[in-house]
Chains A and B, each alone.
Chain A
Amino acid sequence: MDDNLLLQVEDLHTRFHTPEGTVYAVNGISYRLHEGETLAVVGESGCGKSVSMMSILGLLPVPPAEIAGGRALYRGQDLLKMSESELERIRGKEIAMIFQDPMTSLNPVLTIGKQITESLHKHLGMNPTQATERAIELLDWVGIPDARRRLGDYPHQFSGGMRQRVMIAMQLACTPSILIADEPTTALDVTIQAQIVELVVRLRQQVGMAMIWITHDLGVVAGLADRVMVMYAGFVVEEAGVDDLYEDPRHPYTIALLAALPRVDRRRDRRLKSIPGAPPSLLVEPRGCPFAPRCEFAIERCFIDNPSLQPVAPRHRIACWVEIKTGGQR
């Protein structure tokens, strides 16, 4: 089944050297992404979701950032060992990334036509006429009416949802194999969110690309992802198929997250559960399970040893010492 393996990240460590000390942002995460697959990465703000993705694309400023270890094999080539110019050939053409806030991620002084055609010139060597035709096609494709006329417009002439569509068109221009979506709906209102998710799902099928969808919204994930990876404080704490995760969450953090989610099949007068405490400071080198201080199931060992990801069911791994269902230990 690994013939169609697209991206394999192993033991990735990313740190930031700041005046306050070293921030341990990503602490040895590993995952695989296959062709056409959608992987959701879920976690609270600051748990290393975006940083882990930007690390493999070489988009972090080095220093202060430091990729302290690991491999990121894209079709067998290690992205972490590539030079900037090699990475420039990968970015946009093979792996593209869309960002959270469409209001700030388009250049305000360039027309959207210019911004969409840029990668067409660079990666596909198109001439201006070809690139313009393709850009019109792309805008049509992401549902922007009157595309030909709007190519000459500036970002401030578009609404938030429309800008995110432009952003998607820009990143998908060269039909990449992997699209990394970094909370692409967070800055949008709910109805627009649904439209964008729908659009991305449609495009994913048309292009046949794999996708990594970063979010802190477990609700969005359900209808979108094949597999889910839950991150906490720079660690992966649980990884499972999307149905398994919702029906049979095993890690205390995942369980707590799902309990905090409003659901239509629950009684409305019950208060949503929140997770007590706050995520740990990433300024101290992690020791023990990072979730232990907030975990209702924590045992003594949790504070000393950090559990590694272990399979608990087929294609379902968690990092936890406690067997919650039985109360036993692993």
Chain B
Amino acid sequence: MSHSSEAAIALPQLKADELEAPPLSLRQLTWRRFRRHKMAIVGIVVIALLFLYSFGGALLVSEQYANYTDTAARLQPPSAAHPFGTDTVGRDILARTIYGGQISLLIGLTAMLVELLIGVLIGALAGYYGRWLDALLMRFTEAVFVIPQIFLLIVMAKFFSGKMPNITLLGRTLSGSVVVVILIIGATSWMYLARIVRAEFISIKEREFILAARAIGTPARQIILGHILPNCMAPIIVSATLSVAAAILSESYISFLGMGVQAPTATWGNMLDGAMNYIEEAPWYWFFPGLLIVLTVLSINFVGDGLRDALDPRSRAV
């Protein structure tokens, strides 16, 4: 009252917007942190180029050409007619890396989805319900864990190969072994993810906002899918990214051993199969598919690392 003169010096009137600057959304923050990861950006660009190469290249070269054998042109070094050279039966390696890339990338992505489905399901159920279900599912997970993945891959590939009919996808007829390889890789690689998801679920289900959600009558299914799962997306995304690379590598292993995707369907992995005997005589034979595998796996791993840093709430660097 006695200070009315001071009150006359009006405080600057702030609008609501100025009072609370809108904080960045989670997505914006993540993008900001991701952007600082130079190698991850390079990785994304390389992956985009690889997709362009495999799927765009298919517009220029036909699959018949990729599978066309010309015994007169066996093991030709790179030339104008065959820029990447030819293989032991005279097929053009450039064309085969294009169509092989489609299969390798497809296997990487779909095997990741299979892995995601199994891993998240098992991890979520074990983590949320706990008790005997947790014990059961985790013992099962450990049981699968102790079997060496390569061994399991080879045995299953051997067992299922030749039992699948050919399939038609995207206008291409593929060996049924592609599906077998996808399912096998998915079924042998979900264990890490299941453990990660379980651990996340165990910690998040005890948080107060889950109690609050239950207090408004949210059923368990909705709690799991709508409330807990979105909270553990960060580790799941990172793990899924890295498992694409792992799946492409796994496919290369078993195809290299001749038990993966069967000819004439090309993959980067089974292109290496025949190259083993010509390491010195025909280096172009293994160099190009090998280079593409290395590029893909490296790029995906860089992106995965970038995502890990960007999605980690503890790394507050902006």
Task: Identify the A interface with B (CB < 8 A).
Answer: 57, 59, 84-85, 87-93, 96-101, 104-110, 115, 118-119, 122-123, 145-146, 154, 156-157, 159, 167, 170-171, 173-174
Contact = CB atoms under 8 A, between A and B. Distances in A.
A107 to B, nearest CB: 4
Nearest to B17: A146
Nearest to B212: A105
Contact of B26 (A85, A109, A146, A170): A109
Interface stretch (B87-95, B116-124, B144-152, B203-211): B203-211
Interface in B198-226: 207-220, 222, 226
A122 B230 contact: no
Query: Which residue among A91, A145, A159, A167 has the maximum number of chain B CB atoms within 10 Å of its CB?
Result: A91
B291 to A, nearest CB: 40
B153 to A, nearest CB: 36
B227 interface: yes
Contacts of A90: 217
Given A59-B215, A105-B209, A110-B227, 6 more contacts: A89-B217, A90-B217, A92-B216, A100-B208, A104-B209, A107-B230
Given A145-B16, A154-B26, A122 B218 contact: yes
Given A106-B209, A108-B209, A146-B16, A118 B218 contact: yes
28 contacts: A59-B214, A87-B217, A89-B217, A91-B215, A91-B217, A97-B212, A99-B208, A100-B208, A104-B208, A105-B211, A107-B210, A107-B213, A107-B230, A110-B226, A110-B227, A115-B213, A118-B226, A119-B216, A119-B217, A122-B217, A154-B25, A157-B20, A157-B23, A167-B212, A170-B216, A171-B212, A171-B215, A173-B216
A154 B26 CA distance: 9
A108 B210 CA distance: 11
B22 interface: yes
Contact of A108 (B16, B220, B226, B231): B231
B13 to A, nearest CB: 15
Contacts of A84: 220
Contacts, number: 88
Interface of B: 16, 20, 22-23, 25-26, 207-220, 222, 226-227, 230-231, 233
B5 to A, nearest CB: 27
B236 to A, nearest CB: 13
Contacts of A118: 213, 216, 218, 222, 226
A91 B216 contact: yes
B61 to A, nearest CB: 45
B217 A93 contact: yes
Contacts of B230: 107, 109-110
Contact of B22 (A96, A97, A157): A157
Nearest to B130: A61
- The 10 A-B pairs at the shortest CB distance, nearest first, are namely A92-B216, A92-B217, A91-B217, A119-B216, A104-B208, A97-B215, A88-B217, A105-B212, A105-B208, A107-B209
A123 B207 contact: no
Contact of B211 (A87, A99, A122): A99
A107 B227 contact: yes
A200 to B, nearest CB: 16
Contacts of B219: 85, 88, 122
A165 B226 CA distance: 22
